[in-house]
Amino acid sequence: MAKDTIILGAVAYLPKVVTIWEGIRDFFEAQGAPLDFVLFSNYERQVEYLLESKIDIAWNAPLAHVRIKHHTGGKSLSLGMRDSDRDFHSRLIVRKDSAIKNPKDIEGKTLAVGSRDSTQAKILPLHFLKAEGVDLNKVNVVSFDVDLGKHGDTGMSELDVLAALHDGKAPAGTIGDLIWVTEQAAGHIDPNVVECVWVTPGFDHCMFDALPNLDPQKVERFKKALFAMKWENASHRRLLELEGLKEWLPPREEGYKSLKEAVSDQKIAL
């Protein structure tokens, strides 16, 4: 493999990930930025490989991004993100017959949440609920720990939360915006049974991460090719739709402030 080939890591959370990165690899090649990818079964291994310089760039979920920042003393390079990664939200959803109208009402009740490594379905919802004045010690938090290592990317734990509410096993739960919107559109949420009563403040999701010592020429080739993808181009649009965005945007760090605070407060190992 050519020395100037960019090696990118991504977590294979669904079969479509292969299609996405094969398409992006071909696009980068056409842009004069040779790229190949390595698929991982979990973010922990991907972070490890990036820190050991076994890959050049990692496409990281938010918790993995915060880990990279932590282990590099904040010096890691953030290269880009999707438009859909900015201002993400989580939702407090409840059964309509629960009499829960606001966050404080969940005290003394069961709260179904996603997997323990899901930023949008557990970590940040609990953080924001606490900031809202909810005493979490008075809440029976039930976590659906499925697909651990994929940091909630599959959405399966959030589907479990929705099922728990529909089946009457929990009066309240937390899920991310994406699952709420897509499941509503698919007709999988019964509006007569489940409703949203509260939305968290915004936060940011995925990020392309690299170590600070990555060859600057690789960094520039990667960014130039990435930002050359345009929604108006039909061949580009197919890949953008698969990856859930309309536009790649420059990085920003302020959207991870709440997650860093939550990780510290909840004593999540980095």
The identity of residue 76, as a single letter, is S
Helix axes 177-185, 156-166, angle to 10 degrees: 60
pLDDT reading at 46 higher than 90: yes
Q: Which residues partner with 198 through β-bridges?
A: 92
Residue 38 has pLDDT above 80, yes or no: yes
Specify the pLDDT at position 49: 99
| Percent with pLDDT over 70 in the chain | 99
- Judged against a pLDDT cut of 70, whether residue 238 lies above it is answered with yes
Domains recognised in the chain with CATH numbers = 6-85+205-265 (3.40.190.10), 90-199 (3.40.190.10)
Residue 77 has pLDDT above 70, yes or no: yes
Across 245-257, average pLDDT: 98
CA dihedral 257, 171, 101, 137 (to 10 degrees): -50
Residue 24: pLDDT band with limits 50, 70, 90: very high
| pLDDT tens, position by position, 120-173 | 999 999 999 999 999 999 999 999 999 999 999 999 999 999 999 999 999 999
- Residue 1 above 70 pLDDT? no
Whole-angstrom Cα distance, residue 233 to residue 124?
36
- The average confidence (pLDDT) of the chain is 98
Whether the pLDDT of residue 83 is over 90: the answer is yes
